[in-house]
Amino acid sequence: MADETSLHRRPTIWLRFLNLELKEWLISPFPAAVVAALVLTWIIAVKNGPDSYKIYVVSPKQVSGDPQSDSANNFWNGFDEHKEHLAYFRGVKLTILQAHEDGGQDGFSPNAQSILSTLARENDTLLVVLVLPSSRTKEVLPEYLQMANPPVPTVLTWQTNPNLLPPKLKDTYYPVLQMWPTDEIQADSAASFPKTDHGIRPAFWVVEDTSNPTYSQFLASHFIEEAEKDSDEVLLRSNNLFLPPVQTIGDLGINWVFFAGGWSDALILARQLKAITRQLKAKSPKYQCPRLILSEASVGDQLTSRGKGDVEGVYLTYPMPASQYTSSDKGFTGLGHDGFKIVEGLIEGADSGSEDFAADSGGILYKLRKMLGIRRVADARNALITYMKTHHEYQLSDNRKCTFDEEGKRIDGKYYVWKVRKGQFAEADETPSEQLLPEHTAATQKGGKTIAPTGTNAPPVKLGMVAREIR
């Protein structure tokens, strides 16, 4: 019993001794308690602080043979290729990992309920690179930008919708960089290309893909806005689940169709246009098939390999030259290189040593943690966020540069117009009018706003009177 009592008394004796020693140095027991608390805090912080800061490249769920999965993996290969160049940030080791939406990734349980939410809440997540579709990206961004405190700096890769960020208050800043030029630029390129026809006024039918509405609805709406800047040129709007009556398409004199969506529904639409053309040609042999221009989401080998002759002559828009895409990795390894260079520039810039970018947001508690050597990923994020607010130009691979606006949108990118030739994607370097037959070009007035139906007996249609939307 005596031994047991002495064991219980040992902590009390130790604390009394510590208090006496501290009183000797600090005179009062209160300062002694403060010093003891600080020492204890330092010990706990050093023990519990992250051993490394994590940078995650988040990809879609892996599906064998899926072009989106393949592109995401090619991006990761390019990003991962030079990761040894990023070893430390603010004296803490950096670890770069790929995470899949289904929860399978290095260091996490494959059956994790929500890998994206988990990453946002971890105490070592420094930055994320999202290689996801626009609709999925919009769903998860609030986790990183609103729920996490401070927000997790985020790099968007192939997402092109400019309205992905969650609503924010007047002075809220979201640390986001969007690598690809947005759909506003894509819509402008797609709507401007048909206007290069000499004296031929386009009459558009705009079709949306329902599988990715965040992407397709905005792109279709902005395309219409761009197309109608000079005149009323959009006569029909629908989605891929509804096909307007064949006679309506002929009566309206549709000569261009713009599709915002993926390759599989784009191929269905191309075949529908072929079938429509056969029906209308039976009534009027001079009827010509409307030309089809597809958005960047339709680009993929499946479009040409499965579509074959059905997609010959189809136009597409894409934010890289066709020659770059037709390489074995479809240009996504190069996009991964660019993504890594942006992250590298961000990390090195915020860790330059000439300025403490975390000080403005951290306050006095940050200064105390810094003095005690306490690691907190929040301070590291604040350093990146402060740097992103004031630095908008980053270097890409091959000594190229990219520039972002204050909201993180790419402002110096462009979209190229391609054409399917002999089953391959190629640059569309000629004007569309060079591809038209004489009877098709004669069907449209060179001036004014009247488009005669091509190959039907209906009267000419006034553009300003027939614009309609079919949902």
Domain with residue 100: its CATH number is 3.40.50.2300
The DSSP H or E segment spanning 50 is: none
Task: Confirm whether 12 is domain-assigned.
Answer: no
Q: Quickly count: other Cβ atoms within 10 Å of residue 151's Cβ.
A: 22
Task: Confirm whether 274 is domain-assigned.
Answer: yes
Tell me how many domains the chain contains. Answer: 2
The predicted model scores a pTM of 0.73
DSSP 289: P
Residue ranges of the chain with per-residue pLDDT less than 50: 1-12, 14-15, 17-18, 22, 25-27, 104-113, 354, 434-471
Answer yes or no: do 190 and 172 share one domain.
no
Question: In the listed set 382, 403, 424, which residue is the last one of a domain according to the structure?
Answer: 403
Task: Confirm whether 346 is domain-assigned.
Answer: yes
Residue with tokens 């002999």: 422
pLDDT score, position 39: 58
Question: In the listed set 403, 427, 445, which residue is the last one of a domain according to the structure?
Answer: 403
pLDDT score, position 56: 94
Answer yes or no: do 228 and 105 share one domain.
no
| Cβ–Cβ under 8 Å, residues 254 and 223 | no
pLDDT score, position 144: 93
Answer yes or no: do 135 and 209 share one domain.
no
Closest by CA position to 190, among listed 81, 291, 66 = 291
| Cβ–Cβ under 8 Å, residues 198 and 435 | no
Answer yes or no: do 177 and 188 share one domain.
no
Answer yes or no: do 216 and 302 share one domain.
yes
Answer yes or no: do 309 and 213 share one domain.
yes
Answer yes or no: do 273 and 367 share one domain.
no
Answer yes or no: do 171 and 189 share one domain.
no
Answer yes or no: do 391 and 451 share one domain.
no
pLDDT score, position 31: 61
Answer yes or no: do 264 and 390 share one domain.
no
| Cβ–Cβ under 8 Å, residues 236 and 248 | yes
Task: Confirm whether 13 is domain-assigned.
Answer: no
Provide the residue range defining the domain that includes 292.
Answer: 184-318+414-466
Q: How many CA atoms lie within 13 A of 112 on its CB side?
A: 19
Closest by CA position to 292, among listed 420, 414, 189 = 420
| Cβ–Cβ under 8 Å, residues 160 and 370 | no
- Long-range contact pairs involving 224-228 (C-beta distance under 8 Å, separation at least 24): 225/187, 226/187, 226/188, 226/190, 226/191, 226/192, 227/191, 227/202, 227/258
* Residue 359 burial by Cβ neighbours in a 10 Å radius (0-12, 13-18, 19+): middle
Closest by CA position to 61, among listed 108, 106, 115 = 115
Give the integer Cα–Cα distance in Å for 450 and 465. Answer: 11
Answer yes or no: do 233 and 366 share one domain.
no
Task: Confirm whether 10 is domain-assigned.
Answer: no
Give the integer Cα–Cα distance in Å for 381 and 405. Answer: 20
State the Cα torsion 306-311-313-317 to the nearest 10°: -90
Task: Confirm whether 369 is domain-assigned.
Answer: yes
Task: Confirm whether 458 is domain-assigned.
Answer: yes
Task: Confirm whether 269 is domain-assigned.
Answer: yes
Strand partners, 316: 294, 418
Answer yes or no: do 174 and 207 share one domain.
no
DSSP 327: S
- Cα 391 to Cα 2, 151, 173: the distances in Å are 69, 18, 14
